[in-house]
């Protein structure tokens, strides 16, 4: 008789899948390896997931749910915009270091090998953060905290680009190398430096209006 897996056992299977997919990509990942590391048979995997694609999607959804949880916790507060930005930066630094596979899988769906997932997941993932970022930027504009000549939609897009690249820079091999080339070998052990410099960059972007720039030279 087939024994139903507990939630804890399913979590172990999904974590093993995330690690395997992050290491080898969805095409080269091996279901036998995942089963062995999870302590179950391949047959059990296919009892719960109809195909490798279904299993990959389940792993991806777990990653994205966790990333959205991290972002939502910060955006739920009423702090000023730069305080929220700092909390987001710190939360994403921590998440990318402790759960690098989650962020690697997020990166995978932006790559050509996963283009079949891109359209569906892009809307599902980005709609949450784009709406939240736009809302708090508009609120900050209304309060006179940030520049009023900014387009909230484009600013939300640029802001998210910075945070997304930060995630990849702590988790994906190519971007980790790139991070060190631009900075130095010690950048991964100096989170405070990264937070401080990114906040300087954001503060200038949020507060310096075009009219102020044009009168400087």
pLDDT (tens digit, 9 = 90+) per residue, 69-103?
888 888 888 888 899 999 999 999 999 999 999 99
* Residue 108 confidence (pLDDT): 83
- Collect all residues with Cβ–Cβ distance below 8 Å to 18 and sequence separation of at least 6: 59, 62, 63, 101, 102, 105
Quick one: pLDDT band at residue 198, thresholds 50, 70, 90?
very high
CB-based contact 96:167 (threshold 8 Å): yes
Most confident of 15-19, 70-74, 127-131: 15-19
- Separation between Cα atoms, residue 2 and residue 59, nearest integer Å: 23
Instruction: Give pLDDT tens digits for 132-151.
Output: 889 889 999 999 989 999 99
Which tens digit of pLDDT belongs to each residue from 151-175? 999 999 999 999 999 999 999 999 9
Smallest CA-to-CA distance from 89 within 195, 186, 161, 187 is with 195
pTM score, whole prediction: 0.85
Taking the CA atoms of 152, 89, 161 and 126 in sequence, report the sign of the dihedral they define: negative
pLDDT band at 128 (very low <50, low <70, confident <90, very high): confident
Of all residues in the chain, what percent carry a pLDDT higher than 70? 94
- Ordered domains of the chain (ranges, CATH): 64-214 (1.10.357)
C-alpha to C-alpha distance for 136 and 73, rounded to whole angstroms: 14
User: Do the Cβ atoms of 166 and 93 come closer than 8 Å?
Assistant: yes
Q: Give the C-alpha separation, 100 to 72, whole Å.
A: 19
Percent of the chain having pLDDT more than 90?
59
């Amino acid at each position: 008789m087939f024994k139903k897996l507990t939630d804890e056992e399913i979590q172990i299977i999904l974590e093993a899948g995330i690690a395997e997919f992050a290491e080898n990509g969805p095409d080269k990942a091996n279901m036998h390896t995942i089963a062995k590391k999870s302590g179950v048979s391949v047959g059990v995997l296919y009892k719960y997931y109809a195909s490798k694609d279904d299993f990959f999607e389940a792993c991806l959804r777990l990653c994205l749910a966790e990333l959205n949880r991290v972002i939502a916790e910060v955006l739920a507060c009423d702090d000023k915009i730069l305080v929220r930005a700092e909390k987001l930066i710190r939360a994403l630094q921590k998440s990318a270091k402790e759960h690098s596979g989650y962020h690697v899988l997020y990166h995978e769906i932006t790559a050509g090998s996963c283009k079949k997932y891109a359209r569906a997941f892009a809307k599902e993932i980005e709609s949450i953060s784009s709406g939240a970022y736009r809302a708090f930027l508009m609120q900050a504009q209304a309060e006179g905290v940030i520049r009023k000549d900014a387009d909230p939609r484009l600013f939300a897009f640029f802001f998210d680009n910075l945070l997304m690249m930060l995630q990849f820079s702590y988790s994906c091999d190519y971007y980790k190398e790139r991070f060190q080339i631009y900075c130095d070998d010690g950048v991964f052990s100096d989170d405070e430096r990264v937070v401080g410099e990114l906040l300087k960059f954001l503060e200038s972007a949020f507060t310096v209006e075009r009219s102020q720039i044009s009168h400087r030279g």
